[in-house]
Amino acid sequence: MNSDFLHTSSLKTSSIEQVNDALIVLRHFIELNEKLLPILLNLSEKKVKSAKDFADIQKIRNVYESYHFDVKSSQILMNSSILSYIQGAYQSIIENAESLHAQVKLMLFEKELIKLKKNWNAVIRN
């Protein structure tokens, strides 16, 4: 048997597994932001924040900042700019949650997420 074939096949399998792992992590991060970004916006918009509000804001910031993604990775892996939308929404909320800009950025993220979820559901159905 040709051992080159086995080696090449093994490399392809490893590459596919790495891409699948990256997709799982990326999807988890996206779905996490679906929940956390609106919460962050609501907490940040509060005129009077409690100690718990400040702690919750910091926890969300820690979660966001613990992921180290290149925004290009969603374009490569999912043909989507979703990470750019997440980054834009997050930055806008942190800078000035009360601005219309922050709400628009969050809305753009949510709109792109709807498109991605439709794609994910189509893949599951097939």
Selected residue with higher pLDDT from 27 and 16: 27
Residue 10 pLDDT > 80: no
pLDDT at 6: 47
Question: What is the percentage of the chain residues whose pLDDT exceeds 90?
Answer: 63
Residues 116, 82: contact at Cβ < 8 Å? yes
- pLDDT at position 89 is 96
Highest mean pLDDT among 5-9, 46-50, 64-68: 46-50
| DSSP one-letter string for 75-120 | HHHHS--HHHHHHHHHHHHHHHTTSHHHHHHHHHHHHHHHHHHHHH
**Which of the pair, 68 or 42, is modelled with greater confidence?**
42
**More confident site: 6 or 44:** 44
Closest CA to 114 of 83, 89, 82: 82
pLDDT value, residue 33: 94
What's the pLDDT band for 59 if we cut at 50, 70, 90? very high
The three-state secondary structure class of 34 is: helix
Q: How does DSSP assign 50-84, residue by residue?
A: -HHHHHHHHHHHHHHHH----THHHHHHHS--HHH
Give Cα 32 to chain centroid, integer Å: 7
Q: What is the pLDDT of residues 71-122, one digit of tens each?
A: 898 999 999 999 999 999 999 999 998 889 999 999 999 999 999 999 888 8
pLDDT at 3 exceeding the cut of 60: no
3-class secondary-structure state, position 47? coil
Q: Which two tokens stand for residue 17?
A: 């597994």
